[in-house]
Amino acid sequence: EAAGEAEVRLLLQEARESIEAARSYRRELQQRLRGLHQAREQIKDSATLTRDVLEQHFSDLKGTLKKLLDERLTSLLQEVDVIEQESIKPLDECQKLIEHGVSTADDLLREGESAVDGDVGQQNEKLCNFTKKALHIQLDSLPEVPSLVDVPCLSAQLDDCLLTILKNQIFRHGTVASRPPVQLEEFVEKPGGILVRWCKVDDDFIPQDYRLQYRKSTASHFEDVYVGSETEFMVLHIDPNVDYQFRVCARGDGRQEWSPWSVPQSGRTTLVPHEWTAGLEGYSLSSRRNIALRNDSQSCGVLYSKAPTYFCGQTLTFRQTVGQPDRRDSLGVCVEQRNGDDSLQRDKAVCISTNGAVFVNGKEMTNQLPAVTSGSTVTFDMEVVQLGPCSNEGGNFKLRVTISSNNREVVFDWVLDQCCGSLYFGCSFSYPGWKVLVF
């Protein structure tokens, strides 16, 4: 009986496992069905959009071509009018001259006939006057009338090869692509931002520039956020826990037109943006509080982040505009805020000075980085290396820190006496003119 019960339990267990496997199999199939549905919808939606774009483009093209042809026809007709008027004008003047001569000859004929047939007593005087008048008119002088070969004969020269050229151009105009040459590859969450990466998927396509656009999921229009030759871009001013849509296209080498857009993809960040603490005398902040400007105030101290928003495993980046440097200047991270200090060159903090010196818990390291320059970036990367039991009461704790500046970096271990899941960041400058963006 015991053997029978064990066999039943085994069969029940196998049955339950088979049922769970069937459920899992069904979920996977349903997920694939949803994927097929999305793929089908993407094909249909993109085909509908492509049809609309093609119809609109060729409609606009036909309208433009008709307008251009009408303008050219009007121009040629005006040219015919001008040539006709300019050519007929001298003929009209010659006609007036001949008609005036005919009228004069008619008058002269009547006067001559009257003189010949007139009274004998007055005949001599009339004949004398007529003869003088005839000599004055110069009856042997005739206006010159141009021959037909010397006057314009208008015609239109219409080259039929234009139709051939247009036909060839029209038949080559436009293409339909089934896949864009570039696609979005990866979204990396950043505090208040998303690092977007893309890649080329067409081996025959040689990109010159890329164009990245984004929009909130609730917005209707995309807007440009980056145009350049890089294949990644940090999109800042992203609201946490809000979906954004991204798309990218490229421009081929030596071409003016952009390629088709990639398939739009959604990205979001769950990380709140880095912010400086407001209200510290000596520093002015931007509206988003991610940029701090050292003002002309004589007060000096450390400007800290609003909260410990830097977590190990992330990259913390400072980008600055430089002012007059001082050896006590600092950019870095710390375990806690501490009022009264004028620099992060203290315990429980790591930082870099504006002259490139690196400090760990207030001690200067032998290794040194290049001096901070305007527009350059300083980055902090940290990973946890635990040296012993860690509890709420503390314990040996080590962070491996990498600080990079101007294409050089230093790597060291930062030993702390307590666990630190998150850290504050801060800066201090003795002189005005320094401006720091943190992301």
What are the pLDDT digits (tens) for 267-300? 999 988 999 999 898 999 999 899 999 998 888 8
Residue 148 in domain: yes
Q: Give pLDDT, residue 142.
A: 77
Give alpha helix (H) positions in 157-212: 161-172
Q: Is residue 18 situated within a structural domain?
A: yes
Give the global pTM. Answer: 0.59
92 with 189, same domain: the answer is: no
Last residue of a domain, one of 243, 269, 295: 269
What per-residue confidence (pLDDT) applies to 36? Answer: 93
Tell me the percentage of the chain whose pLDDT exceeds 90. 57
- Total domains present in the chain: 3
Per-residue pLDDT at 394 exceeds 50: no
Asked whether residue 151 falls in the same domain as residue 201, the answer is no
Give the model's pLDDT for residue 49: 87
Give Cβ neighbours of residue 417 (< 8 Å, ≥ 6 apart).
Answer: 394, 395, 396, 397
121: pLDDT confidence band, cut at 50, 70 and 90? low
pLDDT at 109 (0 to 100): 85
Same domain, 133 and 231: no
**Which amino acid would we find at residue 220?**
S
For residue 278, being part of any structural domain is answered with no
DSSP string, 302-332: PEEBSS--EETTSEEEEEEE--S--TT-EEE
Looking at the fold, whether 230 and 135 belong to one and the same domain comes out as no
Classify residue 19 as exposed, middle or buried by CB count within 10 Å of its CB (0-12, 13-18, 19+).
exposed
200 and 157 in a common domain: no
Instruction: Give the domain extent around 168.
Output: 10-172
Residue 96 has pLDDT above 60, yes or no: yes
The pLDDT, as a whole number, for residue 208 is 92
Count helices and strands (H / E) in the chain.
3, 21
